[in-house]
């Protein structure tokens, strides 16, 4: 089965204008905003951004120095102050990655020196708004801070918060483990990508007051790979002083790559490039394109445990590149065997979307998944779980007697991909006895159809992104035109988005998520296990998936 990237999906669907769906409301209209210059003084020099539609926006702001040339695989050089006023009106370059994997407007080509961030704030004043620092998705391999779906303008304007998003190193350049062959200077090399984010958080701590933000009230959050990055930051001493709460969204990083697996991947890379261990410094001279090609070749031989595994995104096997439990940057797995003690007093949100797997089936072109027979359902589950398949299928059939085989398959795969890891995190955080954990399911159902089928998007993976940023309608595409988002056409989408934004921004503001007119969201506990189901009308569900979880604990023990 060929897995496509998030960018491939977005290009085919919501942000690619959905040509196959031929929906009438997708006609474009050119868009222009009136903007005025706005300046701010940082500790490194003045920045000139734009005030647009009631929001001050600064793009491509450097937070660290070079990571190219002799700085490759090292922590970045110190950021040098500048004189005069630096323009901050254009996105910075994303990290080196395969082509066409980002979807920002007027976004530069990927580059090795990529350490910039974007800021959206209602005003540069002394109001001390909560600060929400977002970690983009795309695994640890693709993506950028410039995504149109993750634009922070509406969130900042409508909910009076400061939003920040970072570019950071990805793939081989961010996660090549050289600790065992390159000496002390390269200790921590397998975690440069998340170290970059920690350095960005330090920049935020030192400078966000000038943007109307409160450096003593910073929330980190992220979806998919961004959730896994957030999981790592939650367990990372280098990041700990600079954030105060976290939200892990459809990306439960329970476990990360072990050092021995990372070392094996490094050996495979050197072999592919024809470089001896003792000549590893040749890696510093190779063009990024050569390294990227080798990375992609190794990726093909790596496993897909970040999609199919039971330990959450990040616990992939050899061949891929991601954070490493190295004893330097990450001393332990983020949430295994327990929640990290250094974040014991930091509140946590964690959860997933009800129909996660629809996304993965769609981007892989697996249209058969949306028209399964009972026999095909069993065969597919058996290919994943072997002799446990009958127990799993029977349990889900009993729990959902009216569901089709496809609906059962999506339910099973969705909880395997994201649900079990999210619940594990909530349980282990709760067992600590410190700050609370809040567990959620995003349940709003988009009525758009999977291309080539009559099956709706439902609450698939990544659907929550436009909802939590209130970018659910008339999203700007890369050409600066408006198009429909993947939220679909149901009028209830606006209420669902407002509920999610209120929950997220109230959590950022007070550490207790709440939304006007919606039920109180209880902290997770091990007795009645409350889960907030987020939709146009929210609902607290106690001990959700009790039957299924009882089975999973037996089947996976």
Taking all residues of the chain, what is their mean pLDDT, rounded to a whole number?
91
Nearest residue to 472 via CA among 443, 501, 449, 509 = 501
Phi, psi of 306 (to 5 degrees): -70, -15
Closest listed residue to residue 471, CA positions, set 493, 449, 456: 493
Residue 477 pLDDT: 54
Can you tell me the distance from the alpha carbon of 198 to that of 209, in angstroms, rounded to the nearest whole number? Answer: 18
Angstrom distance (rounded) from CA 270 to CA 342: 36
Where is 325: in which H helix or E strand? Answer: strand 324-325
- Taking residues 503-523, report their average pLDDT: 98
**DSSP type of residue 72:** T
Buried b / exposed e across 405-423, counting CB within 10 Å, b at 16+? Answer: bbbbbbbbbbbbbbbbbbb
- Per-residue pLDDT tens digits for 71-111: 999 999 999 999 999 999 999 999 999 998 898 999 999 99
pLDDT of 539 above 60: yes
Strands (E) located in 451-501: 456-458, 475-476, 482-483
| Domains delineated in the chain | 6-366+418-518 (3.40.50.1820)
42 beta partners: 45
φ, ψ for residue 271 (rounded to 5)?
-65, -45
Give 379-422 pLDDT, tens digit per residue: 999 999 999 999 999 999 999 999 999 999 999 999 999 999 99
Residues 6 or more apart whose CB falls under 8 angstroms from that of 470 comprise 154, 155, 158, 497, 498, 501
Look at residue 483 in the predicted model and tell me its pLDDT: 52
> Is the Cβ–Cβ distance between 1 and 8 less than 8 Å?
no
pLDDT grade for 307, boundaries at 50, 70 and 90: very low
Task: Please check whether residue 121 is in contact with residue 213, taking contact to mean a CB–CB distance below 8 angstroms.
Answer: yes
Cite the active site residues: 224
DSSP structural state of residue 511 = S
pLDDT, position 12: 41
Give Dmax over CA atoms of the chain in angstroms.
69
Q: What is the pLDDT of residues 334-383, one digit of tens each?
A: 999 999 999 999 999 999 999 999 999 999 999 999 999 999 999 999 99
- Coil, strand or helix at 48: strand
Alpha carbon separation from 127 to 49, 161, 171 (Å, rounded):
19, 10, 38
- Mean pLDDT of all residues in 421-434: 98
- The span from the CA of 239 to the CA of 323, in Å, is 14
Give CA–CA dist 216/130, Å, rounded. Answer: 8
CA angle 208-154-54, nearest 5°?
A: 70
Measured CA to CA, the distance from residue 87 to residue 346 in angstroms comes to: 36
Cβ partners under 8 Å of residue 424, min gap 6:
252, 254, 312, 335
- Which residue, chain included where needed, has tokens 């976004």? 107
pTM of structure? 0.93
Three-class HEC string of 303-323: CCHHHHCCCCCCCCCCCCCCC
Question: CA neighbours within 13 Å on the CB side: how many for 234?
Answer: 37
Question: Structure tokens of 192?
Answer: 């440069």
Asked if omega into 337 is within 30° of 0 (cis), the reply is yes
Q: Are 489 and 447 in contact (CB under 8 A)?
A: yes
According to the model, what pLDDT value does residue 103 have?
A: 85
């Amino acid at each position: 089965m060929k897995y496509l990237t998030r960018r491939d999906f977005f290009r085919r669907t919501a942000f690619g204008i959905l040509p196959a769906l031929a929906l009438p409301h997708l006609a474009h209209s050119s868009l222009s905003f009136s903007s005025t210059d706005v300046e701010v003084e940082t500790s490194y020099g003045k920045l000139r951004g734009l005030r647009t539609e009631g929001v001050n926006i600064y793009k491509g702001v450097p937070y660290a120095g070079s990571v190219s040339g002799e700085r490759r695989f090292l922590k970045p050089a110190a950021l040098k102050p500048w004189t005069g006023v630096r323009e901050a009106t254009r996105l910075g370059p994303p990290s080196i990655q395969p082509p066409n994997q980002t979807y920002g407007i007027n976004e530069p080509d990927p580059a090795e020196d990529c350490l910039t961030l974007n800021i959206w704030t209602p005003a540069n004043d002394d109001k001390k708004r909560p600060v929400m620092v977002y970690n983009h998705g795309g695994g640890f391999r693709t993506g950028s801070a410039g995504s149109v779906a993750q634009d922070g303008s509406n969130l900042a304007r409508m909910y009076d918060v400061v939003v920040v998003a970072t570019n950071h190193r990805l793939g081989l350049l961010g996660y090549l483990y050289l600790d065992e062959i390159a000496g002390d200077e390269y200790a921590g090399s397998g975690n440069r990508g998340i170290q970059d984010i920690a350095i960005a958080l330090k920049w935020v701590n030192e400078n966000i007051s000038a943007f109307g933000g409160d450096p003593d009230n910073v929330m980190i959050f992220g979806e998919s790979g961004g959730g896994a990055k957030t999981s790592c930051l939650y367990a990372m001493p280098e990041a700990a002083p600079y954030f105060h709460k976290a939200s892990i969204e459809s990306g439960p990083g329970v476990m990360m790559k072990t050092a021995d697996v990372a070392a094996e991947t490094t050996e495979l890379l050197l072999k592919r490039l024809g470089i001896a261990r003792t000549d590893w410094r040749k890696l510093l001279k190779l063009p990024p394109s050569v390294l990227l090609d080798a990375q992609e070749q190794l990726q093909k031989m790596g496993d897909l445990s970040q999609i199919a595994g039971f330990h959450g995104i990040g616990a992939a096997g050899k061949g891929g590149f991601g954070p490493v439990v190295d004893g330097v940057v990450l001393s332990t797995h983020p949430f295994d065997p327990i929640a990290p003690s250094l974040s014991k007093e930091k509140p946590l949100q964690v959860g997933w979307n009800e129909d996660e797997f629809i996304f993965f089936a769609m981007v892989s072109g697996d249209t058969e998944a949306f028209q399964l027979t009972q026999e095909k359902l069993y065969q597919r589950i058996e290919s994943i779980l072997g002799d446990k398949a009958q127990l799993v299928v029977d349990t889900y059939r009993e729990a959902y007697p009216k569901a089709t085989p496809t609906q059962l398959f999506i339910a099973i795969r969705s909880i395997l991909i994201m649900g079990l890891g999210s619940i594990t995190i909530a349980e282990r955080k709760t067992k600590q006895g410190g700050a609370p954990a809040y567990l959620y399911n995003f349940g709003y159902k988009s009525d758009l159809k999977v291309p080539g089928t009559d099956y709706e998007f439902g609450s698939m993976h990544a659907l929550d992104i436009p909802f939590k940023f209130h970018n659910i309608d008339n999203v700007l595409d890369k050409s600066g035109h408006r198009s429909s988002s993947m939220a679909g056409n149901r009028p209830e989408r606006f209420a669902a988005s407002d509920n999610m934004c209120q929950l997220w921004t109230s959590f950022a503001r007070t550490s207790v998520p709440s939304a006007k007119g919606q039920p109180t969201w209880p902290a997770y506990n091990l007795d009645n296990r409350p889960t907030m189901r987020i939709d146009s009308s929210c609902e607290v569900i106690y001990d959700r998936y009790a039957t299924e979880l009882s089975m999973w604990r037996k089947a996976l023990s």
